[in-house]
Structure 1
């Protein structure tokens, strides 16, 4: 009886916490709910603050396809985001693996210099990067989009920190068996660190998909449009079709949500540094 009484007392004490978490959850989910509702309503209903399903979803979708290059923007966004994610994971994991596995008296000093890059805001590098890429003739090219994103101090730090949980004995045993360093990385390190790769993939994909400032600067050609730039262009007119805009926002949000929900378990393990 005493255990049951203590348990019920603990549950009663947690009621305010549950209420607070429920309120925070509702506040967090409400913008997503409003986005879906707005995508199904017309301009008049959205302006009146309607928060239920409407009948204009098909019309908003047709207007989006007819008036905006949706297919082109979606294709470009997928190409940019997937390419950046794959290249960034390879480069940053190689760097993080090397910083942790190989020992050198200068590596920590060099790593500290790399971490200084996290303190520099992106807007501070836009002008020098643009001048450099202009001289290199990389304007309106995929390479110009990729280069500033394929290696970031945060990703290198993340792989290095999680590599500390990687069993070094495996590396020593593999070397004794005659495996080369590159085979050790691809055949031993990558499978063991799959949760870290999943977490890094989610972060990198979302950053590349939602990138706006750098693509807006480097991609001046209409054929290089991505989804974020498409939505920004839709909000620049004198008359705004909020239903069509929210339908575009919904299409822009779906890929990142799918990636996160598919990899959410591995994402949580990778962020906490779990190694399997």
Structure 2
């Protein structure tokens, strides 16, 4: 590659990178300014970061919303990884014609938009509220259970299991391990990168989930971060500086999870098995 061609390649990539990262830079800079400066399009850092943060703490129950989001996201991630990996492992290792039919039906369910399932889901949880209140409307369980696993995650684990060395399964059986013991002691440690990629996808999706929690979480004590931010923006005269500092705080957990597990995420998405 010639020097001129390389220069224009790097120039193009730099421009695209700047365009991609600009909204995040604007969000960080604007969180340090007053609302009037944000609406005026100020692009320089201000001195109102702590003032915006103080108003956010006084106006909202930030700690409770962060805690609610953390509980829902962590629980959903752990349960999703366990259930989806067991299902994906079972579909691939113990293949049969009937299992393939069930798996294809699961894949077809991905074509159904979630908006089409909201009404029957809400009615189901409304009835559960009358029988088992801890699993009904306005509980964390009502958010976790419908999103506990997805057809995509099961598909992801099944595709990753295709590259799992079958010789290890036979070696485990010869050594006298049970099938569940093989899964726990051989499959799970070997597929660490796949679990890392699935954990990032599930955690980010659960943390940013807005539509279903908006419907089933009906009291201030159960609000998550997306609902809290939405509430801040629904006032007659929103304080954009305060809203943006809330968005920055709400973005930090997902950003940390991604950057801390970035290498494992890339390896898991490319199908690496170690």
Taking structure 2 as the reference length, the TM-score comes to 0.96
- Determine the structure 1 residue equivalent to 2:243: 245
- Determine the structure 1 residue equivalent to 2:207: 209
- Determine the structure 1 residue equivalent to 2:132: none
What root-mean-square deviation, in Å, do the aligned CA atoms of Structure 1 and Structure 2 show? 0.9
- Determine the structure 2 residue equivalent to 1:181: 179
- Cα distance in 2 between the residues matched to 1:66 and 1:259: 28
Q: 220, 224, 227: which is aligned to 1:229?
A: 227
Unaligned runs of 5+ in 1: 1-6
- Determine the structure 2 residue equivalent to 1:4: none
Residue by residue over 1:165-184, the C-alpha shift from the partner in whole angstroms, topping out at 9 and shown as x without a partner, is: 10011011101110011111
Residue by residue over 1:97-141, the C-alpha shift from the partner in whole angstroms, topping out at 9 and shown as x without a partner, is: 001111212111111100011111111111010001111111011
Q: Comparing 20-29 with 61-70, which one deviates more in the overlay?
A: 20-29
- Cα distance in 2 between the residues matched to 1:57 and 1:229: 22
- Cα distance in 1 between the residues matched to 2:40 and 2:230: 23
- Determine the structure 2 residue equivalent to 1:89: 81
Aligned: 1:43 with 2:41: no
- Determine the structure 2 residue equivalent to 1:140: 138
Unaligned runs of 5+ in 2: 130-135
- Determine the structure 2 residue equivalent to 1:102: 94
Aligned: 1:112 with 2:104: yes
1:154 Cα deviation from its structure 2 partner = 0.4
* Equivalences, count: 268
Aligned: 1:123 with 2:122: no
Taking structure 1 as the reference length, the TM-score comes to 0.95
Q: 197, 200, 210: which is aligned to 2:198?
A: 200
- Determine the structure 1 residue equivalent to 2:216: 218
- Determine the structure 2 residue equivalent to 1:157: 155
1:17 Cα deviation from its structure 2 partner = 2.5
1:143 Cα deviation from its structure 2 partner = 1.4
- Cα distance in 2 between the residues matched to 1:181 and 1:222: 46
- Cα distance in 1 between the residues matched to 2:117 and 2:13: 39
- Cα distance in 1 between the residues matched to 2:40 and 2:218: 37
Q: 19, 22, 44: which is aligned to 2:14?
A: 22
